[in-house]
Structure 1
Amino acid sequence: MSKIYAVGDVHGCLDQLQGLVELCERDAGEGRSKFVFLGDYIDRGPESRGVIEFLMDLQKWSPDEIICLRGNHEELLLGALEGEDAELNWRQNGAKFTLESYQASTPGDIPLRHIDWIRSLPLFHEDGMRFFVHAGVHPDRSLHQQRPRDLLWIREPFLSSNKDFGRLIVHGHTPIFSGVPDQRTNRLNIDTGAVYGRPLTVAVFNTRIAAPVQFFSADPILN
C-alpha cells in the first residue's frame, strides 16, 4: 500500500528534516511512498540553504514523488527581490538567518537556481482525499477558487471553521505551541514549531482513509 508523508514547517532545521526523512524512508521500505513538504523551508532557523539544497537534491531523484509546496516565507523572499519595502518586510520576518546561511548580504546574492526552484513551487497538492497547502483555505470559496494569498497566509476564518471542505485540509503555518499536531474532522495542522525548540512532525497517510494513520516526530521519545 502506498504511503504519503506530509512534513510540517522546517524553517532551516536541517538536522531534524534529514532525520525525519530517513525515518520515513525506513518506514516505507520497498513500498511506494510520496513526500509532501508544506513550505516554509527558510528563515528563523540556522540552515535555510542546507534545507533548500537537501530538498532540491531529493526532488531531483524522484520528481513525481517529492512534492514541495511554497510557504509564505518563500513568498516573502520572492517579494524581497522586487522592491525595498518588500525586502524590509522579509528582513523583519527572520531573513537574517537565511542570508547568513547563504553568506549573502542581499536577497539578490542568493543563487539563481535556488530562486528559480522557489518560483516553481506549487501552492497546493491534492490526492483525492486530502488537500495539502501551506496555510489553509478560505471557507467561503471552493477549493479550486482559492486566492494565492489565502493559501499562503490565512489563519482566520479558516482555523475556527467547521466546514466540510470535501477533502481533509493538511496544513502548517500556524505554530502549535504544545508541539502536538492539531487534528480536526476537516483539517490537520502539523506545524509543531520546529524552529521554536519543538520537534518537526510528519503525518503519515495511506490510500484507504483520509485521516492520518500515524505521526513521526524528530523527537524520538514521541515516536
Structure 2
Amino acid sequence: MLPYGSYYEPNTPAEQPGSTGEPEGLPVGSDATHIGYGGARYLEQHWPVAGHPTPGPGSTLPIFRAPELPPELPAEAPARVRDEDPPTIELGPPISEEDLHRLAQLPPLGDPGPVGPLYVVGDVHGYLEELIGALHQQGLVDPDGHWTAGRARVWFLGDFTDRGPDGIGVIDLVMQLAAEAAAAGGYCRALMGNHELLFLGAHRYGDEPVQSTAGTASFRAAWLLNGGQQHDLERLQGHHVSWLKRLPAMALEDGHLLLHSDTTAYLEFGDSIAEVNDAVHDLLADEGADEWWDAFRRFTKRFAFRGPGGPMAAGELLSTYGGHRVVHGHSPIPYLTGEANSDSGEPPYVPGPYIYADELAVAMDGGVTMEGRLLVARLPVD
C-alpha cells in the first residue's frame, strides 16, 4: 500500500487554472493528483386504514335486517310495518361559505409539517466506531447507533470504505439509518464518492486490465494501493452493491451544493444535477471497465477550489447546478490548509469544517485516516 498522502495514478495535471502541477503547500515534486490521499431498502410503513373490518373465512358482511315483528302483530301485517326502514342519521345544516374558507386553511391530510435541521458527514473510510461517536455527539443517534433525530436530514458525502477497519459495517449502518430516519419522518441519504467507484470496480472487474495514464492497471490493484481491505470485499453482498450503484453523485439542499470531490469534473457529465446523476448511473449500469476507470479518474481529481482560481471554479459549479455554497469531502482539510506538511510530528489540528474560496466552499473531510477528525456538522456553518 502506498503511504498516506499519495495516490498512484500519476501525471494528471492539477485543476487550478494556470497551475504548475505543484499546488502551494504540497511536498516538493508532488502534483495535485499524487497528493490525493486515496485516489435496503427503506422500511415500509403499513398504516391501519379506518373502515369496515374484512370478514374472515366463511363469514359474511353484516346487513341491515327489518326489525322483528312484535308477537301481537299478525303475519299479514301491512308491508310498511314488516319492512320498516332503519333509522336515519341527522346530517345537520348545510356547510356555509365561512366553513369552506375555514377548512381551506387547514393543512392537507398527510402534511408532514416543517422539515428538520440539515447535517452533513465527511469521509468515513471504515471508521465505524468514530462515526457512531460523532453522530451521537450531534444528537443524531443513540450510543448503539440507532436514529434519535426525528425529522432531521442527514447527507453522507461519500467514501465509506477503504483504509479503515470496517467499511461494510459503515455501509450497513448508513442503510439502517436511512430506514430508521424515514420511519421517524426525517431522512438519511448518501452521495457516491470516488472510493465507492473504486470498490465497485474492484468487485466487478477485479484484475481485468484497464487503460490508465500510468499504463495498464486494474481496479483491484488500484483499490489495494489506495487502502482496500480484503475483508470488506469478502463481506460485500448483492444488496450492498445495488445500494451503492444507486447513490447520486451530487445533490442540492437548502442552497448547499453537495458533492464528494472538490473538482469541476462534474461539469463533464451534464448541465444539471439530474443529468449528472443519470449519466453516472447509466455508466455503472451499461459501460465497461475502461469507462468505469475514466469516471473514477475524473472524480479523484481535487483542489479545484483552492488558490487564486478557486472562487471562480466554485462559482462555475454553483451557476450551473444552483446553490450559494459548495460542500464537499474528498480532500482532507490538513492538505487544504497546508498543515499536513508540518514537521511538528503532532496530529493535524482540525477544529471543524473548513470554509474557503471566498466562503463559496466548505470542506468536510477532517482527515480521520491521518489522526484528524471524522466531521459531522449542521448546515449552514459560519
Q: TM-score range by the shorter chain?
A: 0.7 to 0.9
Following superposition of structure 1 onto structure 2, how do residues 82-121 of structure 1 map, counting pairs within 5 Å? 82-84=205-207, 85-96=218-229, 99-101=230-232, 104=234, 110-121=236-247
Partners of 1:129 and 1:168 within 8 A in 2: yes
Matched, 1:10 2:124: yes
Q: Deviations over 1:71-110 (max 9, x none)?
A: 11110011121241111111111113xx2246x2xxxx62
* 1:46 paired residue number: 165
In the TM superposition, what is the alpha-carbon distance from 1:6 to its structure 2 partner?
A: 0.4
Aligned partner of residue 158 in structure 1, secondary structure: coil
Aligned partner of residue 138 in structure 2, secondary structure: helix
Matched, 1:212 2:381: yes
Following superposition of structure 1 onto structure 2, how do residues 19-168 of structure 1 map, counting pairs within 5 Å? 19-25=133-139, 32-63=151-182, 65-80=187-202, 81-84=204-207, 85-96=218-229, 99-101=230-232, 104=234, 110-138=236-264, 141=267, 144=273, 149=295, 152-160=299-307, 161-163=310-312, 164=315, 165=318, 166-168=323-325
Paired residue type of 1:125: A
Paired residue type of 1:204: R
Provide the C-alpha distance between the structure 2 equivalents of 1:72 and 1:26, rounded to a whole number of angstroms: 26
Compare relative contact order (CA 8 Å, sep 6+) and give the higher one, 1 or 2. Answer: 1
Are the structure 2 counterparts of residues 34 and 26 from structure 1 closer, same or farther at C-alpha, using a change threshold of 3 Å? Answer: closer
In the TM superposition, what is the alpha-carbon distance from 1:29 to its structure 2 partner?
A: 7.3
Aligned partner of residue 333 in structure 2, secondary structure: coil
Instruction: Name the larger-Rg structure.
Output: 2
Provide the C-alpha distance between the structure 1 equivalents of 2:191 and 2:116, rounded to a whole number of angstroms: 20
Using the size of structure 1 for normalisation, the TM-score is 0.78
Q: Which runs of 5+ in 2 are unaligned?
A: 1-114, 142-146, 208-217, 281-294, 335-348
Count of residues in correspondence between the two structures? 201
Of the three residues 347, 351, 354, the one matched with 1:182 is 354
Provide the C-alpha distance between the structure 2 equivalents of 1:128 and 1:151, rounded to a whole number of angstroms: 27
Partners of 1:123 and 1:152 within 8 A in 2: no
Provide the C-alpha distance between the structure 2 equivalents of 1:4 and 1:151, rounded to a whole number of angstroms: 28
Are the structure 2 counterparts of residues 140 and 34 from structure 1 closer, same or farther at C-alpha, using a change threshold of 3 Å? Answer: closer
Paired residue type of 2:139: E
Q: Structure 1 residues 63-72 or 132-141, which shifts more? A: 132-141
| Percent identical residues | 29
Aligned partner of residue 25 in structure 1, secondary structure: coil
Partners of 2:250 and 2:259 within 8 A in 1: yes
Partners of 2:168 and 2:236 within 8 A in 1: no
Provide the C-alpha distance between the structure 2 equivalents of 1:121 and 1:140, rounded to a whole number of angstroms: 15
* 1:192 paired residue number: 366
Provide the C-alpha distance between the structure 2 equivalents of 1:140 and 1:118, rounded to a whole number of angstroms: 18
Partners of 2:330 and 2:365 within 8 A in 1: yes
Paired residue type of 1:24: Q
Q: CA RMSD in A?
A: 2.8
Provide the C-alpha distance between the structure 2 equivalents of 1:89 and 1:140, rounded to a whole number of angstroms: 22
In the TM superposition, what is the alpha-carbon distance from 1:134 to its structure 2 partner?
A: 0.5
Q: Deviations over 1:190-212 (max 9, x none)?
A: 1011122222111212xxxxx31
Q: Deviations over 1:15-67 (max 9, x none)?
A: 11111222223599776310000000000001112111111111122356111
Paired residue type of 1:129: G
Provide the C-alpha distance between the structure 2 equivalents of 1:38 and 1:7, rounded to a whole number of angstroms: 6
Using the size of structure 2 for normalisation, the TM-score is 0.47
Are the structure 2 counterparts of residues 157 and 101 from structure 1 closer, same or farther at C-alpha, using a change threshold of 3 Å? Answer: closer
Q: Structure 1 residues 123-132 or 61-70, which shifts more? A: 61-70
